[in-house]
Structure 1
Amino acid sequence: MNPLKTMLATFFVLVGSHAFAQTKGLDVPYVPTDQVVVDAMLDLAGIKAGDVHFDLGCGDGRIVISAAKRGAKATGIDLDPQRIKEAKDNAVKAGVAGKVTFIEGDLFDFDFSKADVLTLYLLSSVNLKLRPKILKELKPGTKVVSHAFGMGDWKPEKEVNVGGTTIYLWTVPER
């Protein structure tokens, strides 16, 4: 096998089919978050029973499901109808279907202003476009946790490395 084909085959095995099976028109490819990172994100946010949680770009729902298992009122938003179906199926399997909400929609048009905790696994470019909405609409004190991607010059108050990836935490400041 020639070196290029070997490299492409290795890449496909390492990344999996996720990068190649995306719905056209999405800003972010679907890449699932390892459960150890999900748990660390929710720990970093200090999520607890009664918190209102939104996961933007929720994918297969694993962060929302984990937040619900901790007693949060959890909602996931994703543009991809296939991911929303998968998330709902996963919630049923996890026994939390009645405790979560999954919405197919554009996170830029969605009202997540009631969040106590907001989680993201988006690209830096999307985070930067989303940042003005976060700072304008979320109440001061809301925790924002991002897997792997920052928010430009809005410096996180905490960074944690888990499983080879960085998780960032911000708290929405007083206006």
Structure 2
Amino acid sequence: MNNEKYTYLSLWIFLVFCTPLKAQEDRPSFVLDVPYVATPENIVDEMLDMAGVSAKDVLYDLGSGDGRIPIRAAITVGARGIGIDLNPERVREAIKNAKEAEVTDKVSFYEGDVFEVDFSEASVLTLYLFPEVNLKLRPRIQKMAPGTKIVSHNYDMGDWEPDLTKEIMGPDGRKHVLYLWKIPD
């Protein structure tokens, strides 16, 4: 009987103290403000086209996921691209995708919090973030250099009127809305 109590007590101690620690190890050490949702290729192309991205541009993609926007800009027009994502798994995937596309000389990907990263060198800024995240970033974005172009996928910036809005159909038949702002001179 005593042995049985000891076994139950040992099991209880293990479950209470060890299992939560193991489960905590499996959890990411960050909290995502926005879930990862890949932007369809035709939407990526339209975003780059709306911003008039060229080889002279430095494109920052906040919440860059698998890196498809900076990689596509590097492939199509030779633009330099920087992707920032909070999720280390997405950053590793983006780096792998850049290697496969042979554009590692043009693009870089970093793990970081978009609220803490300096993206002021961007001439083009791309976003696929939630409205509340866009609004939180808006004061910093509006202080960017005159002529900087910002393209947001599906989410606006509150009462900041975009210079251009476009609706485009995705390959799945769903409507996507793109917004473009240009920092005034």
TM-score (norm. length: structure 1) = 0.84
Aligned residue number for residue 134 of structure 2: 127
Question: How many Å apart are 1:114 and its aligned residue?
Answer: 1.0
Distance 2:141 2:45 in 1: 23
Give percent identity, aligned residues only.
55
User: Any idea what SS the aligned residue of 1:40 has?
Assistant: helix
Question: How many Å apart are 1:98 and its aligned residue?
Answer: 2.0
User: Any idea what SS the aligned residue of 1:97 has?
Assistant: coil
TM-score (norm. length: structure 2) = 0.80
Distance 2:135 2:150 in 1: 13
Aligned residue number for residue 110 of structure 1: 117
Distance 2:105 2:121 in 1: 20
> What is the root-mean-square deviation in Å for CA atoms of aligned residues?
1.2
Spell out, residue by residue over 1:86-138, the C-alpha distance to the aligned partner (whole angstroms, 9 max, x if none): 000111111112211101001111111111100000000100000001112x1
User: Any idea what SS the aligned residue of 1:126 has?
Assistant: helix
The answer to whether structure 1 residue 82 and structure 2 residue 82 are counterparts is no
Aligned residue number for residue 58 of structure 1: 64
In structure 2, runs of 5+ residues without a counterpart are 1-26, 170-174
Aligned residue number for residue 5 of structure 1: none
Number of equivalences: 152
**Hey, which bits of structure 1, 4+ residues long, moved more than 6 A?**
none
Q: Which amino acid aligns with 1:59?
A: G
Aligned residue number for residue 42 of structure 2: 36
In structure 1, runs of 5+ residues without a counterpart are 1-21
In terms of Rg, which structure is larger?
Answer: 2
Aligned residue number for residue 91 of structure 1: 98
The answer to whether structure 1 residue 139 and structure 2 residue 141 are counterparts is no
Distance 1:92 1:52 in 2: 19
Distance 1:139 1:30 in 2: 29
